[in-house]
Amino acid sequence: DAKTTQPPSMDCAEGRAANLPCNHSTISGNEYVYWYRQIHSQGPQYIIHGLKNNETNEMASLIITEDRKSSTLILPHATLRDTAVYYCIAPTTDTSGTYKYIFGTGTRLKVLA
Amino acid sequence: EAQVTQNPRYLITVTGKKLTVTCSQNMNHEYMSWYRQDPGLGLRQIYYSMNVEVTDKGDVPEGYKVSRKEKRNFPLILESPSPNQTSLYFCASSLSRPDYNEQFFGPGTRLTVL
């Protein structure tokens, strides 16, 4: 299984870039990296995903290292509404064909006014 | 509006009284899944379904049943609920296999078993 490791919490000043790291050293070549966030106890919300190349959408940017062992989610101009728990996931399929979607405990980002 | 709906949103019940939490999606998604979320443990997958009549166990399936008779619905059944099933439950769906597609989550069902 491609497990991920994230810092438990981070703070970021409003208007500044928030850089959330994730280690996934056991990821295999065809496994994507996904990022979701969860605000309070709402359902998790998809942010972005990538395989090898850096990705950008209207919410965030995803930077994946060349060796694919780690990635960074960047929120370019964090707002108070970005305060949430951010999950980095590397979905995989085990030898029996079962999909593994392991959320872990994520990084609790607090954006400070 | 494309969405995943769950009912009920809140439920308080007693040990042993069978209950069903419904989940429905209007996006014609093949894949659907149930998760539970407990403090300090993140989201854990209970069951998932790749398509109609195809279901499979996740990481914590004990005490739960599911069915997928129609593509849009994926109910979670607790035949004999126990207090350790008190949790926040989320249903999710994706177009097809979840390692290649984003998942859309419902609003959650907060279940308390007394």
> What span, in angstroms and rounded, lies between the C-alpha atoms of A55 and A38?
21
Cβ–Cβ contact A46 with B under 8 A: yes
Q: Is A34 on the interface with B (CB under 8 A)?
A: yes
Q: Flag whether pLDDT at B52 surpasses 90.
A: yes
CB-side exposure of A81: number of CA atoms within 13 Å?
2
Task: Look at residue B42 in the predicted model and tell me its pLDDT.
Answer: 86
Lowest-pLDDT range, A53-62, A89-98, B11-20, B75-84?
A89-98
Report cis status (omega within 30 of 0) of the bond before A21.
Answer: no
- Please state, as a whole number, how many other Cβ atoms lie within 10 Å of the Cβ of residue B51: 13
Please check the confidence at residue B58 and state whether its pLDDT lies above 60.
yes
Q: When comparing pLDDT for A97 and A60, which is higher?
A: A60
Residue B94 near residue B26 (C-beta atoms within 8 A): no
Average pLDDT of the residues of chain A = 92
Q: How confident is the model at residue B49 (pLDDT cuts 50, 70, 90)?
A: very high
d(CA A20, CA A6): 8
Mutate to test the interface with A, among B7, B103, B104, B109 (most CBs of A within 10 A): B103
pLDDT (mean) for A47-76: 95
| Torsion angles phi and psi, residue B51, rounded to 5 | -175, 180
**What residue of B is the nearest CA neighbor of A91?**
B99
- With beta carbons less than 8 A apart as the criterion, state whether A88 and A73 touch: yes
Q: What is the pLDDT of residue A2?
A: 54
Angle (CA) A90-B84-B107 rounded to 5° is 55
